[in-house]
Structure 1
Amino acid sequence: MWRLNKVRHKAGRPDDSLDQLRLKRRQHDRALRQARRDRQLVSKRLLLNEDEEQPDVMDTSPGEQQDVVGLLHKLQHSGPEKEAHLKALSKALRDPSAQLTFIKQENSMHLLVGLLTGSNAQCRLQAVRCLHELSHSPHTTMALACLPATPYLLTYLSGQSTKFTELCLYTLGNICPDNEAVREKLLAQGIIPALAGCMESQRHNLAVVEAVGFTLSQLLQTKDAAEKIIPMVLASSLPSHLLSVLTPDPKFGLGPAIECAWCLHYLTCSTKDNNTELLARGALSHCSSLLVSLGDAVAEGNKDEGMELLVCPLLRCVGNLLSSCPVKDMITQVGDVHLVVSLCALVQAYLHTRPGLARETVWVLNNLTAHSNEFCSALLTFNMIPGLIQLLPFSRGINTMILRILANVAHKKKEFCVELARLGLLPALGATLKMADQEVVTLSLDVLFMLVVSGSQVAEEFVRQGGLSLLEALQYNGEGEMRRRATYLLEQHLLTH
């Protein structure tokens, strides 16, 4: 089984200043991914310039902020110095006020596009750097201003320079969420086939693959994605490429896998029809297999930095795909019943540090057991039930989902009910019946009902443990559905014991 190394962007090149730059970028990227995980927001990405000596490349001096007009004038008339002037312009364009000054100048974008398409390779690189700085602007008007350059940015995705291709991709990814007209133009210009071609030609270049994943994820999160973008993506080779990148590279890090997993998540949460297509491509098997590996790594004590940023979209992919998967195909599609063991390991790993992620994990476990005897049986076979029972005191939606999972197991077979009682579920239900959360109490009554009706021995054991007084308290003090269920259990199944 592969091992995850610390998250890093690129391997090699020992220069300390470059390492500091990359570290700064990784920290920034992780923050953006964290925001996306928590709020599913689009987020702009700035590709740091590794040629500069200082790690803190975001600072600009007042002189640089005010010199945009002068630099434009020099670019219009200078010869060999164009590259230096462009480099200075890209640095000046980090300031939002300088960005507005630039696009207000007559023919400024025409000049920049001319340099982008010229014969001088270094000028082209610095010109796309200027466009990239503009694309990162907080001003929404900047996306429209960059529109004249998009045909060339798309064309250059088939180029050979990794740095240049990355800059083109991140620039496109930054401008596409801001404006519907820009997205319409990009779609008409062929951004989806361009991304697919780039992924195909650069599949061994993980820095470019990560950038493709970012740009595609920006498109897939827009409000018109389900109608206009996702059908085009599904009709392309992109889903297959996304699936092929899911396994992290031990030397490069998690970045490409994280970006591609988020793209798959945005595809799976759109419509059920799309999930049918993804199921046919083996998406559920791919994502489940990786979760098994991650769960095994966590169980062995390997919780490397950034791993949860990959676990989260994978969980959402699997949960969504399971809800669309025909029951008869579920075990074949998932491929390994050990997935329940891995999910339980992930719950335990993130329960205290990231309870939201633990809640999503038990949601997947609920989807997995809702219609499958095999996965319910696996929870018992691999002795996962005691660990789940121990989670019942936890709130934040975790205990309610655990009760649903236990209900799934109890519903399948009477033999499973007997085994659940033997493993200590009855006293645990006695504790949840005393909780103030009405949903927890109602779900506990549902599970208790299935256990009690499975056989007289379980009912007798519940009575011996003092269960009658708990139900009587609910019968007289409870409200609505809780009172009705408690009364039914008492009168129909327990008072005779």
Structure 2
Amino acid sequence: MLRGNGAPSRTRSRAGSVEEIKARRRQQEWALRKARREKQLVSKRLLRELQEDAEEMEIREPSVTQEEVSQLYQRIQRGSEGRLAALRSLCQLLHLKEVQKMFVGLENSMHVLIGLFTSNLASVQLEAALCLLHLSHADDPSISLMCLPATPYLLTYLSGQSVKFTEQCLVILGNVAAENEAVRNQLLLQGVVQALENCLQSPHGAVVEAAAYSLFQLLQAKEAGEKIVPAVLQTSLTPRLIHLLDPESEVGMPAAVEAAWCLHYIMSSGVSSDKVLISQGLVHQAGILLIALGRAIDSGTVADGVELLIYPVVRCLGNLMASREAPLHRSQLDTHGVLQALSSITSKFLHSQPSLSRECLWLLNNLTAGDERFCSAFLSLGLVAALFELIPFSDGINTLVLMLLGNIAEMGSEHCEKLQQQKEIFSALCTVLRTSEVEAVRLTLEVLNLILSHCEQACEEFVNQSGIPALEAIQYHSNKEIRVRANFLMDRYFTDKKMY
């Protein structure tokens, strides 16, 4: 229902239920989160309650004319008793793209709106902020940029007492920063980093989440490595972001999600931040959070949308473990707890979010590469058997599994002996040999070579599992490297020994 009086009441029917629109919104949210990691799209947002209004507006799709928008604007300009009601009606209609264009096309409309945003009347100021929020969220960048004159006021009001108003100002800042380098440069000169630093200390989860969202919009910019990340690292922002990864944090999971994305983009900026973030406790805190999330998954108490938090945390930890600093700091992780958590997460999201499972396997590879402690723990926890269930999956999952098995096999005879004792291993590897994926076949041959070279009895077991026909078949593979590797294994381990 439209708030206030004076809004047009005509509507057009529209196909689709509320559930369908909400499902589409959820898909859009996932796409935007995906865009964050792939740097393909700009992701802007509304407040959650306004998103619900937008969904209702999509269903009703009111028919609004230029004359009706002009009438609302005239009532707002006059400053009569109906100004607040007119503002409320305008705010509700600014969900619609055509109304956004109609309003900003009116003479001095943004000047008037920003003037009301600085009003002494809190109710008027709040409604004007909501109107700015809708305009900052516009798909058309030229519309959202019209909010630029409001940025000094937005930053000033961040120190106010109203939680809701502060949250609105932060989201507007994040939206207008998303699309234009000139806006970001102006915000930097106006002290946006220091303002966000203060907001992240708030005890209110909504304010912290919105502040981290605004910071994220700055950090994903193409010039972030040059201008923004260095400024951020000179403040107390990163220790605060790391603290927000606490599973017991009072400000809640949404704030932790935004903080994790900020940390991810700081690490992806090209600025040498690994050493700083490790010294501030990111490895330890990310490990604790992953273990808590893994336990929640195992107990069936995991919250909806938790994958949005897991992804950036896994990516941060994976990047840290791939850095030159990693060997000195892996001891900060609870080896068994992290491995069990990653295994649980991989299984939980394998079908619904395979990209998340792939990220977990990537982190497992970085943890086990050249690290005897993690490889031994992986075996002792009995996690290898679960890997064989992932072999049939493509899109990089099977190759990561094979790389992980290779990491373990590279540890030597004892580890290879334990691998070959897994009943399913050779049948699983032979299944890969029969596929058309060249990289998967190549990795399988590498794993086989390691196991067979370190464990003599593995040759007999491989024969018993009908491995020879699979190996013989790829001696005629179209890829030369595969043929050479297959012939090498046959000559080295089987032809001379007359085992088949």
Alpha-carbon distance between aligned partners in 2 of 1:399 and 1:470, rounded to the nearest angstrom: 18
| 1:76 counterpart residue number | 77
| Residues 285-310 of structure 1, C-alpha deviations (whole Å, 9 max, x = no match) | 21121111111211223343212222
Cα pair 1:392 1:399 within 8 Å, conserved: yes
| 2:12 counterpart residue number | none
Alpha-carbon distance between aligned partners in 2 of 1:205 and 1:64, rounded to the nearest angstrom: 40
Within 5 A, what are the aligned runs for 1:44-59?
A: 44-47=44-47, 56=56
Q: Give 3-state SS (helix, strand or coil) of 1:420's partner.
A: helix
Larger mean Cα displacement after TM superposition, 438-447 or 222-231 = 222-231
Instruction: Count how many residue pairs are aligned between Structure 1 and Structure 2.
Output: 473
Shift of 1:113: 2.1
Alpha-carbon distance between aligned partners in 2 of 1:92 and 1:186, rounded to the nearest angstrom: 29
| 2:328 counterpart residue number | 329
| Residues 120-148 of structure 1, C-alpha deviations (whole Å, 9 max, x = no match) | 22221122112112112122112331111
Alpha-carbon distance between aligned partners in 2 of 1:128 and 1:82, rounded to the nearest angstrom: 15
Cα pair 2:391 2:401 within 8 Å, conserved: yes
| Residues 377-433 of structure 1, C-alpha deviations (whole Å, 9 max, x = no match) | 110111111111232222222111100000000001221011100113233222222
| 1:37 counterpart residue number | 33
Shift of 1:350: 1.3
Alpha-carbon distance between aligned partners in 2 of 1:54 and 1:172, rounded to the nearest angstrom: 20
Larger mean Cα displacement after TM superposition, 470-479 or 134-143 = 470-479
Alpha-carbon distance between aligned partners in 2 of 1:26 and 1:232, rounded to the nearest angstrom: 38
Q: Give 3-state SS (helix, strand or coil) of 1:236's partner.
A: coil
Alignment of 1:427 onto 2:423: no
| Residues 38-84 of structure 1, C-alpha deviations (whole Å, 9 max, x = no match) | 3333222122567x999825656445764333333333332444333
The one-letter amino acid of 1:205's match is H
* Structure 1: gaps (5+ residues): 1-22
Structure ranking higher on relative contact order (CA contacts 8 Å, 6+ apart): 1
Alpha-carbon distance between aligned partners in 1 of 2:196 and 2:183, rounded to the nearest angstrom: 16
| 2:13 counterpart residue number | none
| 1:316 counterpart residue number | 315
| 1:270 counterpart residue number | 269
| Residues 262-316 of structure 1, C-alpha deviations (whole Å, 9 max, x = no match) | 2222222222612232222111221121111111211223343212222122221
Q: Are residues 189 and 168 of structure 1, via their aligned partners in 2, closer, same or farther at CA, if it must alter by over 3 Å?
A: same
Alpha-carbon distance between aligned partners in 2 of 1:92 and 1:105, rounded to the nearest angstrom: 15
Cα RMSD of the aligned pairs, angstroms, is 2.8
Larger mean Cα displacement after TM superposition, 465-474 or 146-155 = 465-474
Cα pair 2:94 2:134 within 8 Å, conserved: yes
Q: Are residues 104 and 414 of structure 1, via their aligned partners in 2, closer, same or farther at CA, if it must alter by over 3 Å?
A: same
| 1:86 counterpart residue number | 87
Alpha-carbon distance between aligned partners in 1 of 2:75 and 2:426, rounded to the nearest angstrom: 81
Q: Are residues 210 and 28 of structure 1, via their aligned partners in 2, closer, same or farther at CA, if it must alter by over 3 Å?
A: farther
| 2:455 counterpart residue number | 455
Shift of 1:482: 0.9
The one-letter amino acid of 1:153's match is L
Within 5 A, what are the aligned runs for 1:271-420?
A: 271=270, 273-420=272-419
Q: Are residues 77 and 300 of structure 1, via their aligned partners in 2, closer, same or farther at CA, if it must alter by over 3 Å?
A: closer
Alpha-carbon distance between aligned partners in 2 of 1:356 and 1:432, rounded to the nearest angstrom: 21
The one-letter amino acid of 1:254's match is M
Q: Are residues 29 and 192 of structure 1, via their aligned partners in 2, closer, same or farther at CA, if it must alter by over 3 Å?
A: farther
Larger mean Cα displacement after TM superposition, 389-398 or 447-456 = 389-398
Alpha-carbon distance between aligned partners in 1 of 2:288 and 2:282, rounded to the nearest angstrom: 10
| 1:125 counterpart residue number | 126
Shift of 1:330: 3.6
Alpha-carbon distance between aligned partners in 1 of 2:284 and 2:352, rounded to the nearest angstrom: 28
Question: TM-score, normalised to structure 2's length?
Answer: 0.87
Shift of 1:104: 3.0
Cα pair 1:376 1:408 within 8 Å, conserved: yes
| Residues 298-337 of structure 1, C-alpha deviations (whole Å, 9 max, x = no match) | 1223343212222122221111121115343242233443
Cα pair 2:132 2:172 within 8 Å, conserved: yes
The one-letter amino acid of 2:272's match is D
Cα pair 1:272 1:324 within 8 Å, conserved: no
Cα pair 2:66 2:102 within 8 Å, conserved: no
Alpha-carbon distance between aligned partners in 2 of 1:290 and 1:168, rounded to the nearest angstrom: 30
| 2:467 counterpart residue number | 467
The one-letter amino acid of 1:480's match is K
* Structure 2: gaps (5+ residues): 1-18
Q: Give 3-state SS (helix, strand or coil) of 2:120's partner.
A: coil
Alpha-carbon distance between aligned partners in 1 of 2:73 and 2:161, rounded to the nearest angstrom: 29
Alpha-carbon distance between aligned partners in 1 of 2:435 and 2:496, rounded to the nearest angstrom: 27
Alpha-carbon distance between aligned partners in 2 of 1:468 and 1:170, rounded to the nearest angstrom: 62
| Residues 180-222 of structure 1, C-alpha deviations (whole Å, 9 max, x = no match) | 221221122121111111112x1x2001111112222222222
Within 5 A, what are the aligned runs for 1:200-211?
A: 200=201, 202=202, 204-211=203-210
| 1:487 counterpart residue number | 487
Q: Are residues 65 and 136 of structure 1, via their aligned partners in 2, closer, same or farther at CA, if it must alter by over 3 Å?
A: farther
The one-letter amino acid of 1:124's match is Q
Cα pair 1:388 1:402 within 8 Å, conserved: yes
Alignment of 1:191 onto 2:192: yes
The one-letter amino acid of 2:295's match is D
Larger mean Cα displacement after TM superposition, 244-253 or 342-351 = 244-253
Q: Are residues 254 and 33 of structure 1, via their aligned partners in 2, closer, same or farther at CA, if it must alter by over 3 Å?
A: farther
Cα pair 1:66 1:98 within 8 Å, conserved: no
Alpha-carbon distance between aligned partners in 2 of 1:379 and 1:360, rounded to the nearest angstrom: 17
Larger mean Cα displacement after TM superposition, 462-471 or 446-455 = 462-471
Shift of 1:93: 2.9
